[in-house]
Amino acid sequence: MDVLGNGLDRGKMAGLESSSALPHRTGPLPPQVLTIAGSDSGGGAGIQADIKAIQANGAFAMSVLTSVTAQNTKAVTTAFDLPLRVIEAQFNAVFDDFDVAAVKTGMLSSKGIVKRVSLLLKQRPVRNLVVDPVMVSKSGYSLLKPDAVALVKSELIPLAVLVTPNIHEAELLAEMKIRTLCEAEEAARKIFTFGCRAVLVKGGHLPEQRGCDLLFDGEKTTVLKGEWIDTPHTHGTGCTYSAAIATHLARGKPIDQAVQSAKNYVTEAIRHALPIGHGHGPTHHFYFLTPPD
């Protein structure tokens, strides 16, 4: 096989006679979905999980990196926020070139990042913004400074078509304890008043009725019943879930259908979770694929 370099004729690729040998694509192009989040060096959560989930659910993934974390299945050991000008440059590079059908936000660790990302999203309105208010890692490492929570409420959430807090995040946003689905609904109603179009409280950490999530759209409350899979390997499930929702919104589904499709997907990704590392292993984003020979 040829090696790329000066020895190849223009228009040819390594190992191919000409570009005409490439298969022709048929059908519509996939929608383009952007994730704005922090990285996970272990690959199970954060922007790495988002990209896998977006691609697995039928869209083309793009990314704006906000923070770099040193992380594995056991813990987050340190984090570094990228300069605001670099975050903004990434954002503008994507929007200047791509037709962005949906955006998902994840780790926005500081007041400065929350404020800048919110401003950028106001300047470039998107059809479908899913806000995953990432606050604390599974190992307990803070991923959102306490003084930034108020800005998430006042600047970011009002832009969202959907906000997807877990129980701990919903408690912080609604300033109340959540132990039951009734309390989850009360919290969702409080978060809804911040200006979003809908709230999904993820119930994986509920003491009772585990596996059930609660969706409130301002008029109707829907309990999404699900299977509780007893496994420690759930690293990155929140990131995966919200990214999958954004993808199904980009594909044209209404909120309730997008959430249900994403829940079905993340349930199977957990069922096929990978027991790798020495802590909480990651979900399997491509459980349905058979590697080629």
Instruction: Give me the residue label for tokens 């390594």.
Output: 14
Q: What is the largest CA-CA distance in the chain?
A: 69
Q: How far apart are CA 267 and CA 58, in angstroms?
A: 17
Q: Tokens at residue 192, please?
A: 């809804």
- Whether 222 is a known active-site residue: answer no
Catalytic member of 202, 226, 247, 263: 202
Catalytic member of 38, 226, 238, 281: 238
- Whether 193 is a known active-site residue: answer no
Beta bridge partners of 14: none
Catalytic member of 38, 44, 46, 236: 236
Catalytic member of 164, 234, 267, 283: 234
- Whether 202 is a known active-site residue: answer yes
Q: E strand or H helix at 103, and its extent?
A: strand 100-105
What's at 167, amino acid-wise?
I
What's at 197, amino acid-wise?
R
Report CA dihedral (286, 35, 258, 162) to the nearest 10 degrees: 150
Q: Tokens at residue 124, please?
A: 């470039």
What are the φ and ψ backbone dihedral angles of 209, each rounded to 5 degrees?
A: 55, 45
Q: How far apart are CA 232 and CA 106, in angstroms?
A: 22
Find the distance separating the first CA and the last CA of the chain, reported in whole Å.
19
Catalytic member of 239, 247, 263, 283: 239
- Whether 212 is a known active-site residue: answer no
Tell me if 21 sits within 8 A of 28, measured CB to CB.
no
- Whether 182 is a known active-site residue: answer no
Catalytic member of 237, 240, 267, 283: 237
- Whether 140 is a known active-site residue: answer no
Q: E strand or H helix at 265, and its extent?
A: helix 255-271
What's at 49, amino acid-wise?
A
Catalytic machinery residues = 202, 234, 236-239
